[in-house]
Structure 1
């Protein structure tokens, strides 16, 4: 069995340690998300994704432990399990990344249809109004499709323009709820643009960031596979030992004994 270079071992341990840390962070994030969404009505639609994240996190940590054991104890079976598991994980993540990028237009269309079902906003539930109000304040917009007209005359305070507003504003209709109890003729400015375009843009941006992170993790897995294969090749290398040659002359011993002659005095 060959000997593995100590720097190769250390590099491999650093890489699998990063994989284990990422797996533990993903596991913690999944546990937090599961607990946060436990009482949510839409948890049933997300349960498959949560279980998938659990599986990816646990498998990453287990494979990292197996790989660390294999490289420290120089066990080839453990390294083979690690390499095969990481190859399968890399292929799975790579397929998910390609599928996600290919389905982005369809995801944007489905998201748009989902929000369009909320119209008219004047008849929306209180929970939906509060949720959309937070979006309007954060993204500096009003309404979903046709701006403030989606609210009819029941325009919420979240449509009011902030002093440092980036998006353009317009004067609110005089018949809107915003003018209740106001007697002066001062205009009330509200956001002009609708929120749906900003919502879709924000969600698609988050998806692209998530795919980018997944690609970085996939490259890290590929690097660990390459290092694992190199270490396996080193372990399989036979150590050349010099052959032992028998010599009759060595047995007989061609040696001369040096003696000192002394003269009797």
Structure 2
């Protein structure tokens, strides 16, 4: 005999379906980034692994909760509840810290990039990274082309079409002729827009997971309570004043005499 309310069971099942879809989306994000971004992924390995782990754990927990509700298995539901409590606390902690540092992220990244200047005397790894960024984002220097001092690389040079589109500026050295057309925009503002978008997406994912975990914690607690205290058939004792019984008196009639 079913001990869990059918409405709660179906609500919990739908919740776990959405929970599983959310986990699949978390797995899909790094997968698509690896498919469509074919440049060097070495510096992004840690972030991709974290997303894969979070997505896989989310899927496993969703399956555990759905199985526990379908079979009315108290052990599975208790494990699910423990995972939801831990997940809620972890996601809230990460989300609050991320939201706190969000306004300071530009300043922090600016200080980190300023440590790499000047670019012409930086390491070969930094130069290669800067060249790749300038070629892809169509910019020159981190904060200005002067970050390269007097050694502006070819990755800053505009094409003739870009010159016509007004994306460039003239650069003239004291002993250089003709003029060199380089990108007018620095790379740091463009790069920060991408970083802030990614940070906002990650923060939204974290708070969404926290909300789902909190909802799962509430539903699983209700079902565990119903399994521990199953509904019992309640017998209503009807007072005697509402019961039908013999009348308090009977009308007596004398039989007719013939």
Q: Is TM (by shorter chain) over 0.5?
A: yes
Q: Distance in 1 between matches of 2:121 and 2:192?
A: 23
Q: Identify the match of residue 191 of structure 2 among 189, 196, 199.
A: 199
Q: Does structure 1 residue 240 correspond to structure 2 residue 240?
A: no
Contact 2:170 2:182 in 1 (8 A): yes
Shift of 1:205: 2.5
Whole-angstrom distance in 2 between the partners of 1:202 and 1:80: 41
Question: CA contact under 8 A between 1:2 and 1:239: conserved in structure 2?
Answer: no
- Which of 148, 153, 165 is the equivalent residue of 1:151? 148
RMSD: 3.9
Q: Which runs of 5+ in 1 are unaligned?
A: 180-184, 244-265
What secondary structure sits across from 1:103 in the alignment? helix
Alpha-carbon shift at residue 211 of structure 1 (Å): 0.4
Taking the aligned partners of 1:241 and 1:196, their CA distance within structure 2 comes to: 71
Q: TM-score, normalised by structure 1?
A: 0.67
Please say which of residues 223-232 and 85-94 is displaced more in the overlay: 223-232
Contact 1:66–1:78 under 8 Å retained in 2: yes
Work out whether residues 3 and 226 of structure 2, in 8 Å CA contact, stay in contact via their aligned partners in 1: yes
Q: Is the 8 A contact 2:91 2:206 kept in 1?
A: yes
Q: 1:79 aligns with which of 67, 71, 77?
A: 77
* Structure 2: gaps (5+ residues): 237-258
In 1, Cα distance between equivalents of 2:156 and 2:49: 38
Q: Is the 8 A contact 2:94 2:206 kept in 1?
A: no
Q: TM-score, normalised by structure 2?
A: 0.69
In structure 2, the residue matched to 1:115 is 113
Q: Bigger shift: 11-20 or 91-100?
A: 11-20
State the Cα deviation string for residues 176-206 of structure 1 (Å, max 9, x = none).
88x6xxxxx5x54322232223323331221
Aligned partner of 1:246 in structure 2 is: none
Between the aligned partners of 2:92 and 2:201, the Cα distance in structure 1 is 15
CA contact (8 A) 2:162 2:168 kept: no
